[in-house]
Chain A
Amino acid sequence: MDGKVSAPTHRVRSSKGRGYFRGHDFDSLDSSDIGPQRSIKGWIILVTGIHEEAKEEHLYNVFQEFGQVNNLHLNLDRFTGFVKGYALVEYERYEEAANAIRAMDGTQELFHQTIHIDWAFGKGPASSGSTTGSKHHNLRSRSRTPPRRQY
């Protein structure tokens, strides 16, 4: 080493999308420890903000556009009988799910009400107190100790 003190590498990269899982600022983590987690037979996304009168069939048709929907759970509110407000959609392939998220997150195409979509499962713990508004890139909450200076 040339003796120069350098801060831990802070890569600045322009990127779009759900910053939480892009992981570019998680300097000490192995890349296999972060990101969405595949489920047993596919990739599952969570859709929230669904209108209470939404019909499962309509939802199915909308999400079929991105790929074969293997599973769709649109649970009801046990008290009112209306849709609770979320749905879990399973695609066989990662790209299909990612496209659905990219295309529909934050839109109002369904029922004129803003919906949000994100992966349902992750590979590791969320950093404490993190908010994952999709526009927020979650910077590392802790950084690794800088490499020891060697003279």
Chain B
Amino acid sequence: MHLTSNSSQPGPYLNFTSSSQGNNHVKTPDSNRATKYQHRETKRERNKERGRNRWKGEMAASSSEGEEFYLRYYVGHKGKFGHEFLEFEFRPDGKLRYANNSNYKNDTMIRKEVFVTPSVLRECRRIINDSEIMKEDDNNWPEPDRVGRQELEIVMGNEHISFTTSKIGSLVDVQTSKDPEGLRIFYYLVQDLKCFVFSLISLHFKIKPIQS
């Protein structure tokens, strides 16, 4: 997914929100896909150390409530228009922070933060658990490059992952990588998380245009 710098809007990401109203990315629900996805078997061996920035700790089979939860996602690059990036963070105390920066046309940083309720954190954990990203590792993922980088850091109870990779332009990049299965999980999880965060942020902060 490219962070294009060709617009003064935060970019294609704000269009990521919902739902069934005319959106390029809408596909007809595919139950075959859903089944395959749900029953996907991880053939990968589980390592104790996950990600390029490792935190050595025990692995928990699952996370339960009352355990620590932290999530941070970053995607960005440095170029003609400065350090353009999107970042959001769910903190253990419930604070959701969102930042979007670009100097395109001398634009400045957008920063939002709001406290979300434990229900929201719980739903975020569910999305993460369902994706099974915690079983993955970024060993074989493309390294960040000039085009950009993505970072995903999650703490869920005893498990801590910190993945770093390059930007993913499309599924082609996923399929031609050395770890298509893992990268695909990452790719879709990031999209789901963005949907969630953008919905929360835009609903909380944005005023809808006047409808005629």
A114 beta carbon closer than 8 Å to chain B: no
A104–B204 Cα distance when bound, in Å, is 22
Would B117 and A122 count as touching, CB distance under 8 A? yes
A68 at interface (Cβ–Cβ under 8 A)?
Answer: no
A79–B127 Cα distance when bound, in Å, is 12
Q: Is the CB of B115 within 8 A of A132?
A: no
Partner of A75 from B29, B67, B92, B195 at Cβ < 8 Å = B195
A-B pairs with the 3 shortest C-beta distances?
Answer: A125-B93, A118-B119, A78-B191
Please name all residues of chain B whose beta carbon is closer than 8 Å to the beta carbon of A39 when the two chains form the complex. Answer: 203-205
* Contacts A74-B20, A118-B117; A44 near B204 (Cβ below 8 A): yes
- Check A75 against B115 for contact (C-beta < 8 Å): no
Given contacts A84-B127, A120-B117, A129-B66, contact A78 B188 (CB under 8 A): yes
Interface of B is mostly: mixed
Q: Is the CB of A77 within 8 A of B192?
A: yes
**Are B18 and A80 in touch, CB under 8 angstroms?**
no
Name the B residues within 8 Å of A88 (CB-CB): 199-200, 203
In the assembled complex, the Cα of A116 lies from the Cα of B116 at a distance in Å of 16
A contacts, CB < 8 Å to B = 20, 36-37, 39-41, 44, 46, 48, 52-53, 56, 70-71, 73-82, 84-86, 88, 90, 116, 118-126, 128-133
B26 in complex: contacting residue of A46, A81, A84, CB < 8 Å: A81
Chain B contacts to A: CB under 8 angstroms: 17-20, 25-30, 33-34, 37, 65-68, 92-95, 114-123, 126-127, 188, 191-192, 195-196, 199-200, 203-208
B145 → chain A, closest Cβ, in Å? 24
Complex contacts, A20 vs chain B, CB 8 Å = 117-118
Given the contacts A48-B122, A71-B208, A73-B19, A124 and B117 also touching, CB distance less than 8 Å: no
The answer to whether B34 touches A52 (Cβ under 8 A) is: yes
